[in-house]
Structure 1
């Protein structure tokens, strides 16, 4: 049987997760990952990569739970393995705090993280501006290590990597039998999805090895995430903002807000500043369609639009996308498979 040629577009955490899932599960497929940017130049590289999630409005909660649980279980297995330091995956404990008591005190992902509980009054005394908090242990996945680790795993499974810009799916129509689109914000132009928009995020990396616990304000704009080699402090959530240059006003605001939550940050050395555009959408698009490319009907599986939850949901949506790829292969006419 002829090998089926599969292209995966995008080398961020969603693209590489999806490519690995397909290459490992379907050895009869020849999988090529195509992207214009690779680590350390992807949006994923700057992500804090801490696992918890927001709720998307139009996707069944059951499906969202699967995405979260599958991602958490996958990364937990790595965190508990000898690969943890090379893959950049570690356990992280801390607090999510709220100025007002949230309507939902137990988010859907609370059953999957470790030891989720409401903070005590004495714990909350540390944060006098906040009235409610949640304590739990989750996973931190640092993509600057994780993406090269995934690429190695992908190549081991027989995957190929190609660096080039894809301006249109038509360019791939004659070379591939099936296309998986994980192009994130690029889907706005690549497949003409007007629902995709950027949410600008700016963070700082600081040297503060004495900090052991994460702190996240429930509004999602202020956070402190200790990692393996530095502490990520942030941030911004600027919708529709395409600026990629560092904004000095944002830097000062981040240091001031994070300093209120953790006064010792005034002693931390700033190691670097980073800006990225989260590929946001009302709901992630994980579905399949058939597109006419160069006179051929080519199945296309989409997996993009995760916003700030790419690392959190990447493996779960990759497994979903793998299921869609299997459906496409099953539905292909026999002559395409021979």
Structure 2
């Protein structure tokens, strides 16, 4: 039996997670991953990679819960294994603090992280501008290590990797039986999706080995995430902003805001500055369609638009995308008989 040729477009955390899931679960598929950019040049590489999430307004909550749970279980298994340091996956404890208590004090993901509880008055005392907080242990996944680790895992499962820019789906129509689109913000050009837009994020990597706990302001703009190779401090959430240059004004603002939450940061050495564009969308797109390419009907599975929650939801959405590929395979013989 000839293998079914599957192509995954995109080498960020969504693309590689999806490619690994397909290559490992569906041995009848020959999987190729195509991308113009690979680690360390993807948007995922600069992500803080801390596990919790927001909500997409029009996607059933049960589906979002499953994405989070599957991703958390997958990364927790790595964090508790011998692969933890090379994969860049570790447990991380800390606080999320709010100036005013949010409407949902126990978000849907709170039952999956470890030891979630509300902060005590004594804990909140060190953050005088904030009146409410949540304490929990979650996972930090550093993509600069995790992406190369996933790439090796993909190759061990028989996957092929090619560096090339894909301008449109037509150029893939003759060579592949199933296309999986994980091109993030690139979907604007690749499939003409006008609903996907950039949210610019700027972060700094600092050397502060004394910091052991993460701190995140509930507005999502100010955060300190200690990691394996320095702490990530940020950030910005600038919608519709395509600038990829470091903005010195943003750097100054980040250091000031983070310094108010953690005064000892004034002693930290700045190691690097980074800017990335989160591929945002009102609702993440995870669905299958059939597209006419080169005179053939080709199934296309879309998995993109995760915004700032790419690392958090990558494995759960990859499993879903893999299930859609499996569905295509089960329908294939029936179509061949017609």
Which position in structure 1 is the counterpart of 2:26? 26
Report the CA distance between 1:118 and its aligned residue: 0.2
What whole-Å deviation, never above 9, does each CA across 1:269-299 have from its counterpart, x for those lacking one?
A: 0000000000000010000000000000000
Which position in structure 2 is the counterpart of 1:316? 316
Q: 1:300-315 alignment to 2 at 5 Å?
A: 300-315=300-315
Distance 2:87 2:18 in 1: 17
With the length of structure 1 as denominator, give the TM-score of the two structures. 0.99
Distance 1:227 1:113 in 2: 18
What whole-Å deviation, never above 9, does each CA across 1:172-203 have from its counterpart, x for those lacking one?
A: 00000000000000001100000000000000
**Structure 1 unaligned blocks of 5 or more:** none
What whole-Å deviation, never above 9, does each CA across 1:7-65 have from its counterpart, x for those lacking one?
A: 00000000000000000001110000000000000000000000000011000000000
Partner SS state of residue 152, structure 2: helix
Which position in structure 1 is the counterpart of 2:188? 188
Which position in structure 1 is the counterpart of 2:11? 11
Which position in structure 2 is the counterpart of 1:254? 254
1:119 maps to 2:139: no
1:241 maps to 2:263: no
Assess, with a 3 A threshold, how the Cα gap between structure 1 residues 129 and 229 changes in structure 2: closer, same or farther.
same
Distance 1:109 1:335 in 2: 41
Partner SS state of residue 174, structure 1: coil
Distance 1:35 1:171 in 2: 14
Distance 2:322 2:6 in 1: 12
What whole-Å deviation, never above 9, does each CA across 1:63-104 have from its counterpart, x for those lacking one?
A: 000000000000000000000000000000000000011110
Distance 1:88 1:320 in 2: 24
Partner SS state of residue 332, structure 1: helix
**Count of paired positions:** 337
Report the CA distance between 1:170 and its aligned residue: 0.4
Moved over 3 A (4+): 333-337
1:325 maps to 2:288: no
Report the CA distance between 1:328 and its aligned residue: 1.2
Distance 2:132 2:216 in 1: 12
**Structure 2 unaligned blocks of 5 or more:** none
Distance 2:44 2:328 in 1: 28
Report the CA distance between 1:335 and its aligned residue: 6.6
Distance 2:282 2:331 in 1: 30
Report the CA distance between 1:332 and its aligned residue: 2.0
Q: CA RMSD in A?
A: 0.8
Which position in structure 1 is the counterpart of 2:170? 170
Distance 1:336 1:317 in 2: 29
Q: 1:1-338 alignment to 2 at 5 Å?
A: 1-334=1-334
Distance 2:323 2:334 in 1: 19
